[in-house]
Amino acid sequence: MLPFHKAVENDFSAVNDLIVANLHSNVGLVENIGHYIVGSGGKRLRPVVVLLSALANGYKGQQHHAMAVVIEFIHTATLLHDDVVDVSALRRGRETANNQWGNAPSVLVGDFIYSRAFQMLVDVGDMQIMGVIADATNVISEGEVQQMGNAGNSAIDEATYYEVIYRKTAKLFESAARVGAMLAGAESDNMALYGKHLGLAFQIVDDVFDYQGHSDVTGKNLGNDLAEGKMTLPLIHARDHLDDQQKQLICAAIESKSAARFDDILSAVQQSSSLGYCIQQAQLQADLAKQALSTLPDSHLKTVMAELADFSVARVS
């Protein structure tokens, strides 16, 4: 168990129990796919952020458990939909649900999990929190469409990259941190900034994993992003710091959505020091996340939240 899980151990256990209870369905395939995807070994960092934010801001009730599940269910639904859109075969080191059961069941169970999240949100009964979650799901959907539209475009710049990863990844982290503070009746803007920068750091490091590491550790195959035509930060930096021949190599691979020359592209990325640059940018985001904690009263939970920001980058080492 990681330190940030340990810090909220009892609450985290209650969240896991609530996840299982709310996956119940009279339709067997819904339960099978739902349990398969939530049991696939993820760290459940987004619900942990809800718990840490709520408790660090002095929350004493029980609704942070339900909100943590809402956040996790929204994330789970996006994973099911993402894997269909990306035609992915591997997620967290296991066969994807769409690869095992097919695209249609995966999409429909993703819809079920989305709707179950909103059923739970209604039970929480806070209109302001409902607004935060509704806005988040809308922004996430925009990010998915934007990323799909950008696939195969080798001209993507850093500003566009950050736009997409904010929408696709950081927005849900931001919302998780914000609703935790809202439950506690505390100021939530700084908590939202913490979540935003934490999410950006995580996504940058995830994009580094496509060019560094092993699938049994990272849970993804090297070269996946390249094969999907995704112009992520390692490639953007490499493209902008290499000679014309190597630049053309990267652009051609993105435009053809091919990882056939992955080894050559990996050598080019390494030559341009792009992975080191990406880790520096991730650390910058982690540092901004820690700065956003300055208004929180000192506590063990505040320290754990800062450590979680550092973990977001340290896991690449």
Q: Are 191 and 199 in contact (CB under 8 A)?
A: no
pLDDT at 73: 93
pLDDT digits (tens, 9 = 90+) for 151-170: 999 999 999 999 999 999 99
What are the residues whose beta carbons fall under 8 Å from the beta carbon of 94, sequence distance 6 or more?
Answer: 40, 41, 219
Instruction: State yes or no: pLDDT of 220 exceeds 60.
Output: no
Q: What is the mean pLDDT of the chain?
A: 90
- The arithmetic mean of pLDDT across residues 8-29, rounded, is 88
Burial of 21 (0-12, 13-18, 19+ CB in 10 A): exposed
pLDDT score of 69: 95
Residue 190 pLDDT class (50, 70, 90 cuts): very high
The more confidently predicted of residues 88 and 25 is: 25
Q: What is the pLDDT of residues 276-317, one digit of tens each?
A: 999 999 999 999 999 999 999 999 999 999 999 999 999 886
Residue 219 pLDDT more than 60? no
pLDDT at 214 over 60: no
CA distance linking residue 104 with residue 106, whole number of Å: 5
User: Could you give the CA distance from residue 4 to residue 311 in angstroms, rounded to a whole number?
Assistant: 10
DSSP designation for 156? -
Mean local confidence (pLDDT), 42-64: 94
255-276: pLDDT as tens digits: 999 999 999 999 999 999 999 9
Instruction: Band the pLDDT of 103: cuts 50, 70, 90.
Output: confident
CB 241 within 8 A of CB 164: no
Q: What is the pLDDT of residue 92?
A: 59
Contact partners, residue 265, CB within 8 Å, separation at least 6: 226, 235, 238, 249, 250, 253
Domain boundaries, the chain: 3-314
CATH architecture group of domain 3-314:
Orthogonal Bundle (1.10)
Q: Which residue has the tokens 């493209």?
A: 239
pTM, two decimal places: 0.92
